Amino acid sequence: MIAMAGATAAAAMPPRDVMVAYEGVSKFFSIRVRPGQQQRGELMVALDRVSATVRKGELVTLLGPSGCGKTTLLRLTAGLIAADEGRITVGGAPVSGPRKDACMVFQNFGLLPWRTVIANVEFPLELDGVAAAERHDLARHFLDLVGLAGFTEHYPHELSGGMQQRVGIARALMRRPILIFMDEPFGALDAQTREQLQEDFLRIWSRTAATVVFVTHSIDEALILSDRIFVLATGPGRLRTIVDSPVAGERLAGDVRTHAEFAPCRAELRHMLRSEGT
C-alpha cells in the first residue's frame, strides 16, 4: 500500500531534477555536562548519516517525534548550522551558509514586532537593497495573495497567530525562492486555523515552482501536504524511511482526509512512529 522509495531510486535520479541532496549527513552535539557523571570526549549523535534527495518542485515533510533531529536537518539544509559529517547540496552547490534564494518560515512566526506587516514582508528585499517602491509593490502583491491586503499597516501583535504566519509566508515568498523551509509553521495554531492555513498554503505553493522542506510532528499534516514523507526516528536521530503520500494527487482538490487511502496510510505511519528502535 505504501510505496517505499529507497536510496537506490534516489541515486538513479538525474542530477538536474535534484533540489537538495543529502550524502551521509551527520550532526553531533556536545553532551550536557552534569557534575560527576559526564563522559568526556564523547559527542551525542543528533543526526546519523542521512542520505536522501529532494526533487525539484516537490513538497517533502520531515516527520518524526521530538528529538528525532528533524529541525536539526532543516537548519543544516538552511545553512544555519554546519554538518559534522557528509555533504548537503542545494541546486548542486554545497551548502556553506544561508542562501538568498532559500527562505524560511519560522515556528513562532519570526516577525519583527516593531515593524508593520508590510515592513516585515519587505525585510528580505530591504536587505538586498531593492528600491523602496519596488519592494513595497511586491509586498502588497504577496500580502494580497495570502489574504492580508487590508492589514498592511497593522503591527504583528494586532494580528491573530494564523494571520501572523500568513505574514511569515508572504515574507518567505518575496525573493521568489527556489526553496522554502518551514519549521513546524502551523504547530502553534488552533486546529481550525491550521487546516485553513494548510489549505491556503497548498494553493499558494501550487502557483509557485518552489521546492518545500516542511518539518512537522503531525502525521495528518504530513499526509495532507506532502509528495513524500521523510520519516525520522529517535535515538539516534536518523532517516528511517521515505513514504510516498498516496493522496498527493488529490491534495489540491479538497479534503484528502476522506480519501480511501488516507486512514490506512495514517495508521501505518502511526505504527511506524510508535515502534521505536527498529
Would you tell me which residues interact with other proteins (CB under 8 A)? 78, 80, 97-100, 103-104, 106, 108, 110, 112-114, 123-124, 126-127, 155, 157-158, 181
C-beta of 158 vs 276, nearer to other proteins? 158
- Least CB distance from residue 114 to other proteins, whole Å? 4
C-beta of 173 vs 256, nearer to other proteins? 173
- Least CB distance from residue 113 to other proteins, whole Å? 5
- Least CB distance from residue 79 to other proteins, whole Å? 9
C-beta of 169 vs 231, nearer to other proteins? 169
- Least CB distance from residue 199 to other proteins, whole Å? 26
C-beta of 2 vs 81, nearer to other proteins? 81
- Least CB distance from residue 97 to other proteins, whole Å? 8
**CA nearest 34: which of 42, 26, 24?**
42
d(CA 88, CA 33): 30
Q: CA angle at residue 48 from 72 to 39, to 5 degrees? A: 90
C-beta of 29 vs 123, nearer to other proteins? 123
- Least CB distance from residue 156 to other proteins, whole Å? 8
- Least CB distance from residue 29 to other proteins, whole Å? 16
C-beta of 45 vs 117, nearer to other proteins? 117
C-beta of 2 vs 188, nearer to other proteins? 188
**43 beta partners:** 30
Instruction: State the pairing for strand pair 85-90/93-94.
Output: antiparallel
